[in-house]
Amino acid sequence: MKGLAFDVSHLLAGGLVLLSFVQLYQNRLYALLNVYSLQAFVLALSVAWQAFVQDESHLYVTAFIAFLFKAIVVPTALHRVIVQLGIQRDVENVVGVGPTMLAGLALVALAEVVMLRIAGDADVLAREDLAFALSVVLLGLLMMVVRRNAVSMVVGFMSLENGLILAAAGAKGMPLVVEISVAFSVLVALVVIGVFLFRISETFATVDAEALDSFRDGRR
């Protein structure tokens, strides 16, 4: 049972990291949102598995919240946003898929090394989950750095939050109220981001963040 519990959670958490890489690779917005939705679904499965293994019923609530909000509500809302902006068929010009992938690999390696040092004497399952969660967080940050389309950046932010939930599920004794408040703050962030997307697209006629570069100092 111990072996199986470890294998399944390793499989699901590894799947999350893999889906983060798929997001980095995917340059079509519509498909990107679908990948994000799939990642949230895998996250819900992973949290539910943790709930089963750790025998903590409140984690089922977390899994349900993750599934409902992150796999259904957020992608649907973003789908509507990109349809209204008329960019659902856009192919984003991603620069340097290869270097980005290599950078992502380096980040995963970094996360694993850091977690080995820090959480050296923690429970194997929790340590594994923490290492993967940190990888997902770093890959989400990388996504926000390398993409120029504002919607892709939002997806990077949301997938970063997936990593946080995974870390929360792996660590024992995380109170439910924290998780619920995180979930709601993400929803609030989604609303704010949605408004901002429309404002950016109204002002600059594009959601390409490169248009904002002309307002920066020191780079001409």
Partner 1 sequence: MIVDLVFQLLQMTLVIMVAPLLTGVVRATKARLNRRRGPPVLQPYLDLVRLARKEAIIADSASWLFRITPYIVFASTWVATALIPTFATGLLFSWSADLIAIIALLGAGRFFLALAGLDVGTSFGGLGSSRESLFGALAEPAMIVIVFTLALVAGSTQLSTVAAFMTSSAVGLRVSLAMALVALIIVALAENGRIPVDNPSTHLELTMVHEAMILEYSGRHLAVIELAAMLKLALYISLIICVFIPWGLAIADASVADRLFGAFVFLAKLLAGGVALGVFETSIAKMRVFRVPDFVGAALMLGFLGALLLFVSRTLK
Q: Is 64 in the site for partner 1 (CB under 8 A)?
A: no
Q: Which residue has the tokens 């820090």?
A: 118
- Sorted by sequence, the CB contacts under 8 Å of residue 114 that are 6+ apart come out as 134
Q: Is the CB of 102 or the CB of 191 nearer to partner 1?
A: 102
Q: Is 95 in the site for partner 1 (CB under 8 A)?
A: no
Q: Is the CB of 83 or the CB of 109 nearer to partner 1?
A: 109
DSSP for 3-58, written as a single string? HHHHHHHHHHHHHHHHHHHHHHH--BHHHHHHHHHHHHHHHHHHHHHHHHHHT-TH
Interacting residue with partner 1 among 31, 83, 95, 116 (CB under 8 A): 116
- Smallest gap from residue 105 Cβ to partner 1 (A): 6
Q: Is the CB of 35 or the CB of 74 nearer to partner 1?
A: 35
Buried-exposed string 15-39: b where 16+ CB fall within 10 A, e elsewhere:
bbbebbbebbebbebeebbebbbbb
Q: Is 19 in the site for partner 1 (CB under 8 A)?
A: no
Interacting residue with partner 1 among 72, 83, 118, 124 (CB under 8 A): 124
Q: Which residue has the tokens 């969660």?
A: 133
Going through 24-174 in order, the beta strands assigned E by DSSP cover none
- Sorted by sequence, the CB contacts under 8 Å of residue 174 that are 6+ apart come out as 168
Interacting residue with partner 1 among 62, 87, 128, 129 (CB under 8 A): 128
Q: Is 28 in the site for partner 1 (CB under 8 A)?
A: no
Interacting residue with partner 1 among 64, 92, 127, 204 (CB under 8 A): 127
Question: What is the C-alpha separation between 120 and 184, in angstroms, rounded?
Answer: 32
Interacting residue with partner 1 among 44, 45, 74, 108 (CB under 8 A): 108
Instruction: Find the angle CA(139)-CA(187)-CA(181) to the nearest 5 degrees.
Output: 90
Q: Is the CB of 85 or the CB of 169 nearer to partner 1?
A: 169
Nearest C-alpha neighbor of 207 from the set 157, 164, 149 = 149
- Smallest gap from residue 21 Cβ to partner 1 (A): 7
Interface residue list for partner 1 (CB under 8 A): 3-4, 7-8, 10-11, 13-15, 17-18, 21, 25, 97-98, 101-102, 104-105, 108-109, 112, 116, 124, 127-128, 131
